[in-house]
Amino acid sequence: MTKIAIVTVNFNGKDDTLEFLESLKKLQTTDYELKTIVVDNGSSDDSVSSINQKFPGVDILQNGANEGFSGGYNRGMAYGLAWGADYILIINNDTLIKDGDLLQSLIKVFKSDESIGIASPKIYFSPGFEFHKDRYKKEDLGQVIWYAGGKFDWKNIMSAHRGLDEVDEGQFEGVEETNFVTGCCMMIKREVLGKVNKPESGRGFFDDTLFLYFEDTDFTKRAKKKGFKTYYGGNVAIYHKASQSTGIGSEITDFFHTRNRLVLGFRYAGLRTRFALFREALKFLVFGRKAQRLGVWDFFRGKTGSSERYIKEVRKAEYQLELSICVVNYNTADLTKNLLQSIFTPNSGFNPKTMEVIVLDNGSDDNCKQIIKDFQLALRSHARFAKQAKGGRSGPKIKFIQNKGNEGFSKGYNKTISFSKGRYILLLNSDIEVLDNSLTGLLNFAKEYKDNAVLGGRLYFPDKSSQDSAFNLPTITGAFKEYFLGKKGSYFMYVPAPPAERGEPEGGKAVQVEGLVMACFLIPEKVLNKVGLLDEETFIFFEDIEYCRRLKQYGVPLYFIPTAKFIHHHGGSTKRIGQQKAYELLQKAAKYYHGPVYYFLLTWVLRIGQKLGKTKTPISRWTMT
């Protein structure tokens, strides 16, 4: 069955969003599997709780900050793709569904030509939201056109909506190729998002350096360069409460429109147009409104993205869920099942009302999907969750997604992160087992640090002996101290000593470290927004070291939590790759992390140190040689 994800972004627009979600009930969805996704950009108007209460089936993603049009929709589209959507409909929260066959009609447009990648319906002004209200008769309201296809004028860097302010008399009923598709409502085929991604833009497809305005033009421009067509389907329509989000003529509109028009013009336009834009920019600096002047200055300074002047920091954000536990399986279904059993035991700290588990199968051949399905059926019949089922709820749910092939550690976990809804993201290796109260222990410390720190638990071997899990970032200096001066922990992994073990009281205190292995790694969504996702340049290995280095660069502390305890079947995941293949991937990852010159120097320090130094620790995987 065709999967369609409907994605909208909310920022303090609770009433509009609730009305929009109510209008979705008009849609005919019998032929499709539908998922509705609301991305909240850090609202302060109780949007999340209101949406959750009135529309419990809607998936709410919290950005924790105002990430703008680009960042909001990028988050929602990534979630939709991870779910497996064939098409994604991005649509403003200040719109209303008019025609119940909207989805069917747009899908029909796509099927008429396989090269069509983006399609948009006709868009009317919502009654009472016309630009020129006094022009129209009462019976014309609801038939005044806002968009019926359009064109982007690259000589003047502005879009023109066909039919704007006209009363619809059937003049734009057809289905045809169009030069410009508005981000107010566009349906995008999955294949487009696979080819028009901007990996340098965080989670993204739209260019999030634009933040607001012209991101739809930039996106469709890139899609056309990849050979996709953009189409207008005039047989169906929606209503639009125009400019509800930013306001007509507001300072926010002035600033972002001015700045991004310059960005887009200098990115794509010809030399003559660039010269004209430069003259206009100078004119704005002298005679423009304040926000226009600031927009020009930011462009000349190369400052993109959000603006602290107009986009205020979010003080408090609501989340639909508190914790998302992310697991990637690659031919370890037996270990993954053990992990799930440990998560759902009564004493782990797992709360099915506020937590979720996401399992990604990374192209395994171990029947993981069926094992997860059987486990979940058994779980729902368990007495602990029986009351939930009687209360009309389905009980604890394991969100299962699957890759056709093994895409590696970082890509796998990034996909699970993209498919998460929690305030905190806990990455667990499939060869982990959760011990009593460990989830609660991690969350308590995360809240204590006000979502500004990354945490890791204490790892044990299956025989309950301690397992090294902390490290200092690998350097030549650290290798020299470890090998030649005998200072343990300078280069190799170690177990941080909690305060009680150092002769101090309160053994439950956290210990700040420079690095922790990613077998158990809790990242607040707030930190993800700041630091980003895992680096996908390596297939496996060094993703934890690279991320810890990035945390240090961004000033995000990392803490070892000794009271949060986990069994780690060390190597249970990587040994399924094969020893020779794993070694090759390790070397490749080490060269990528260090760079070829530094890697060469470090290798020789390690080899000489192993022969001549005080520490005779054999060269192992941690030595990266």
Predicted pLDDT at 283: 96
Q: Which amino acid is residue 432, in one-letter code?
A: I
336 vs 616, higher pLDDT: 336
553 vs 197, higher pLDDT: 553
With a cut of 70, say whether residue 572 has pLDDT above it: no
State pLDDT tens for residues 443-495: 999 999 999 999 999 999 999 999 999 999 999 898 888 888 878 888 888 99
CB contact at 8 A, 51 and 60: yes
Lowest average pLDDT, out of 242-246, 517-521, 565-569, goes to 242-246
Q: Which amino acid is residue 364, in one-letter code?
A: S
Predicted pLDDT at 505: 44
The label of the residue with tokens 């350097």 reads: 475
Predicted pLDDT at 502: 47
With a cut of 60, say whether residue 389 has pLDDT above it: no
CB contact at 8 A, 535 and 543: yes
Residue 621 — pLDDT band, cuts 50, 70, 90? Answer: very low
523 vs 582, higher pLDDT: 523
503 vs 552, higher pLDDT: 552
- What average pLDDT does range 134-147 have in this prediction? 93
- Domains detected in the chain: 2-240 (3.90.550.60), 321-581 (3.90.550.10), 587-623 (no CATH)
Alpha carbon distance 438, 458 (integer Å): 9
Residue 618 — pLDDT band, cuts 50, 70, 90? Answer: low
With a cut of 60, say whether residue 391 has pLDDT above it: no
**Nearest Cα to 319, choosing from 607, 524, 600?**
524
Residues 6+ apart with CB under 8 A from 404: 363
Q: How far is CA 152 from the centre of its chain?
A: 30
Q: What is the 3-state secondary structure (H, E, C) of 415-482?
A: HHHHCCCEEEEEEEECCEEECCCHHHHHHHHHHHCCCCCEEEEEEECCCCCECCCEECCCCHHHHHHH
218 vs 509, higher pLDDT: 218
With a cut of 60, say whether residue 563 has pLDDT above it: yes
Predicted pLDDT at 439: 96
- What average pLDDT does range 578-604 have in this prediction? 84
179 vs 624, higher pLDDT: 179
250 vs 219, higher pLDDT: 219
Q: What phi, psi does 149 have (nearest 5°)?
A: 90, 175
Lowest average pLDDT, out of 127-141, 218-232, 425-439, goes to 127-141
- What average pLDDT does range 11-36 have in this prediction? 95
With a cut of 90, say whether residue 622 has pLDDT above it: no
- What average pLDDT does range 60-82 have in this prediction? 94
CB contact at 8 A, 488 and 482: yes
Q: Would you mind telling me the total number of residues written for the chain in this entry? A: 625
Q: pTM for the full model?
A: 0.90
Predicted pLDDT at 422: 96
Predicted pLDDT at 609: 79
- Percentage of the residues of the chain whose pLDDT score is greater than 90: 71
Residues 6+ apart with CB under 8 A from 418: 75, 78, 79, 81, 82, 203, 533
Residue 418 — pLDDT band, cuts 50, 70, 90? Answer: very high
Predicted pLDDT at 506: 45
Alpha carbon distance 322, 317 (integer Å): 12
Predicted pLDDT at 245: 59
CB contact at 8 A, 619 and 610: yes
State pLDDT tens for residues 491-516: 888 998 765 554 444 456 899 999 99
Lowest average pLDDT, out of 11-25, 339-353, 496-510, goes to 496-510
Predicted pLDDT at 379: 81
Alpha carbon distance 324, 418 (integer Å): 11
Considering only CA atoms, give the Rg of the chain: 27
Predicted pLDDT at 576: 62
- Average per-residue pLDDT in the chain? 89
The label of the residue with tokens 């999907």 reads: 369
Alpha carbon distance 543, 534 (integer Å): 7
Alpha carbon distance 428, 355 (integer Å): 14
With a cut of 70, say whether residue 382 has pLDDT above it: no
| The two three-digit tokens of residue 484, written as one number | 């030649």
- Percentage of the residues of the chain whose pLDDT score is greater than 70: 90
The label of the residue with tokens 């976990």 reads: 413
State pLDDT tens for residues 151-197: 999 999 999 999 999 999 999 999 999 999 999 999 999 999 988 87
With a cut of 90, say whether residue 150 has pLDDT above it: yes
- What average pLDDT does range 222-246 have in this prediction? 90
Predicted pLDDT at 574: 64
Alpha carbon distance 158, 264 (integer Å): 10
Element (H, E) at 587: helix 579-594
Predicted pLDDT at 380: 74
